[in-house]
Amino acid sequence: MKKIIVTGSCGFVGFNLINNIDKNTEVIGLDSLNDAYDSRFKELRLKYLEKKPNFKFHQIDLANMDTLNKNSHIFENCEAVVHLGARAGVRQSFDDPEKYLMDNTLGTTNLSLKVKEYDVPQILIASTSSIYGDTGKQLAVENKDELFNPPSVYASTKSFGETLAKNILDDTSTVIKISRFFTVYGPFGRPDMSILRFIHWIASGQDVIIYGDGNQRRSFTYISDIVDGIQKLLKYKKEGTFNFGSNQTWSLNEVIELIEKHIEKKGKIINKERAYKDVDVVLPSLELSKKILNWQPTTNIEDGIKKTVEWYKEYESSIEKLNFKYEYE
Ligand SMILES: NC(=O)c1ccc[n+]([C@@H]2O[C@H](COP(=O)([O-])OP(=O)(O)OC[C@H]3O[C@@H](n4cnc5c(N)ncnc54)[C@H](O)[C@@H]3O)[C@@H](O)[C@H]2O)c1
């Protein structure tokens, strides 16, 4: 049986990835279950994951090398590490830079050292469109690394994490793959991200708060396309950095209209002051992902929002009392 480690296993992407991994692969999930957002969302996801016979969970903080050392055995005969564990979110990163540095930079460093010690054949590191900043009319192109000037603490720690992993694993046989995701949404999503908050606020009749005029545009990407991208990247034999996003952008206002249509209810919109360092538009180049991995997004936003609303309605009773606090991505 193949064995892989997924960090951030109880997060949004980790949960959806593990749910799609076949029964013949042993999956070791690592997560600190931190409080970056209501950790009951993570417990809810863990509850479902623990029903899978091929899944084992370890509550581990990657920033703590002692704990990682005590659990070293999990790296034995591991074929791949999928590193999704991170503290995400642009705005909050300015309030608490130290936590971002610990989770995203030290966490990635410690994990890379373990990967090196156990000669793990490959590590896939999740990174973010946030490191490109505002792309304006240009496309975010993966290999223009020299142009990077990460515009937030979050983006800096993620970008530094990419570099540190490459430094630590340089001259080893481990193949490093970087996947940069663009604003992901879908079932079991993060309650601090815009789409799930908007759905919750509209469905529950609460004010829908938009920071700014709602014309800022994102390359919203449905979770199953992200999972497909990770799986294709795991099969790819070489190193590389790839964008996984949509080839189109939508404004927050357009997204709200779609949500209103599927919930069949109008939201009470309240516009507030634009968030610090919020960018206008982020659009990826998908050339490399298409050409090399044969990957492209297949879920259009209409279907993606419809499925997310359907999921919300099904799970409403489990999530209605949980916190949907503000974050911006
Ligand atoms: N969701 C998006 O739109 C998006 C966009 C770009 C990049 N990403 C990246 O994708 C990855 C997954 O994001 P997500 O949306 O699932 O976020 P998430 O917050 O839902 O999941 C991340 C998980 O990592 C865990 N974690 C954080 N620090 C840890 C540590 N030190 N040790 C162990 N576990 C730790 C958290 O408890 C959480 O469960 C992250 O690396 C994020 O930076 C996400």
CATH number for the domain that contains residue 136: 3.40.50.720
Asked if the structure places residue 286 within a domain, the reply is no
Which pLDDT belongs to residue 228?
Answer: 98
In our burial notation (b when 16+ CB lie closer than 10 A, e otherwise), range 92-113 reads: bbeeeeebbbbbbbbbbbbbbb
| Average of per-residue pLDDT values in the chain | 93
Q: Cα(240) to centroid of ligand 1, in Å?
A: 21
Whether 119 and 174 share a structural domain:
yes
pLDDT band for position 328 (cuts 50, 70, 90): very low
Task: Count other C-beta atoms under 10 Å from residue 306's C-beta.
Answer: 16
Q: Cα(105) to centroid of ligand 1, in Å?
A: 13
Which positions ≥6 away from 278 have C-beta within 8 Å?
Answer: 90, 91, 211, 212, 216, 328
Mutate which of 12, 49, 100, 221 for ligand 1 pocket (most atoms within 8 A of beta carbon): 12
Residue 211's domain comprises 190-218+247-281+299-319
Which pLDDT belongs to residue 329?
Answer: 38
Whether 205 and 228 share a structural domain:
no
For 19-28, 250-259, 276-285, which range has the lowest pLDDT when averaged over its residues? 276-285
Residue 205 Rama label (left phi>0; alpha psi -120 to 50; beta): left
Q: Residue 279 above 80 pLDDT? A: no
Domain count, the chain: 2
Which pLDDT belongs to residue 275?
Answer: 77
Q: Is 154 a catalytic residue?
A: yes
Sheet holding 240-244: strands in order across?
Answer: 55-59, 25-31, 2-7, 80-83, 122-128, 175-181, 240-244
pLDDT band for position 315 (cuts 50, 70, 90): confident
Instruction: Give the rounded distance of the alpha carbon of 171 from its chain centre.
Output: 28
Q: Is 95 in contact with 36 (CB distance < 8 Å)? A: no
Q: Cα(171) to centroid of ligand 1, in Å?
A: 28
Asked if the structure places residue 114 within a domain, the reply is yes
Report which protein residue has its CA nearest ligand 1's atom 1. Answer: 184
Q: Residue 222 above 90 pLDDT? A: yes
Whether 50 and 167 share a structural domain:
yes
Asked if the structure places residue 329 within a domain, the reply is no
Mutate which of 64, 82, 87, 90 for ligand 1 pocket (most atoms within 8 A of beta carbon): 87
Whether 66 and 168 share a structural domain:
yes
Whether 104 and 236 share a structural domain:
yes
Asked if the structure places residue 325 within a domain, the reply is no
Q: Cα(269) to centroid of ligand 1, in Å?
A: 29
Whether 7 and 139 share a structural domain:
yes
Q: Residue 295 above 70 pLDDT? A: yes
Q: Which atom of ligand 1 is nearest to the CA of 64?
A: 31
Report which protein residue has its CA nearest ligand 1's atom 23. Answer: 8
Asked if the structure places residue 287 within a domain, the reply is no
Asked if the structure places residue 96 within a domain, the reply is yes
Whether 164 and 60 share a structural domain:
yes
Whether 30 and 40 share a structural domain:
yes
Average pLDDT value for residue range 311-329: 68
Which pLDDT belongs to residue 146?
Answer: 52
- CATH code assigned at 252: 3.90.25.10
Report which protein residue has its CA nearest ligand 1's atom 26. Answer: 85
Q: What is d(CA 84, CA 124) in angstroms, rounded to the nearest whole number?
A: 8
Q: Which of 37, 132, 154, 211 is catalytic?
A: 154
Residue 252 Rama label (left phi>0; alpha psi -120 to 50; beta): alpha
Asked if the structure places residue 95 within a domain, the reply is yes
Q: Cα(139) to centroid of ligand 1, in Å?
A: 24
Please spell the DSSP secondary structure of 284-306, one letter per residue.
B--HHHHHHH-------HHHHHH
Report which protein residue has its CA nearest ligand 1's atom 11. Answer: 84
Whether 152 and 209 share a structural domain:
no
Q: Which atom of ligand 1 is nearest to the CA of 42?
A: 39
At position 47, the amino acid (one-letter code) is K
Q: What is d(CA 293, CA 142) in angstroms, rounded to the nearest whole number?
A: 14
Whether 149 and 275 share a structural domain:
no
For 83-87, 250-254, 282-286, 324-328, which range has the lowest pLDDT when averaged over its residues? 324-328
Whether 134 and 23 share a structural domain:
yes
Q: Residue 268 above 80 pLDDT? A: yes
Q: Cα(265) to centroid of ligand 1, in Å?
A: 31
Whether 145 and 277 share a structural domain:
no
Q: pLDDT tens digits for 136-160?
A: 878 899 987 555 789 899 999 999 9
Residue with tokens 């091929």: 54
Q: Residue 96 above 60 pLDDT? A: yes
Which pLDDT belongs to residue 320?
Answer: 61
Average pLDDT value for residue range 253-257: 98
Asked if the structure places residue 294 within a domain, the reply is no
Average pLDDT value for residue range 270-291: 88
Q: What is d(CA 103, CA 83) in angstroms, rounded to the nearest whole number?
A: 12
Q: Which atom of ligand 1 is nearest to the CA of 15?
A: 16
Residues within 6 Å of ligand 1 by CB:
7-8, 10-14, 30-34, 36, 42, 60-63, 84-88, 103, 107, 126, 128-129, 158, 181, 183-184, 190, 329
Q: pLDDT tens digits for 8-46?
A: 999 999 999 999 999 999 999 999 999 999 888 999 999
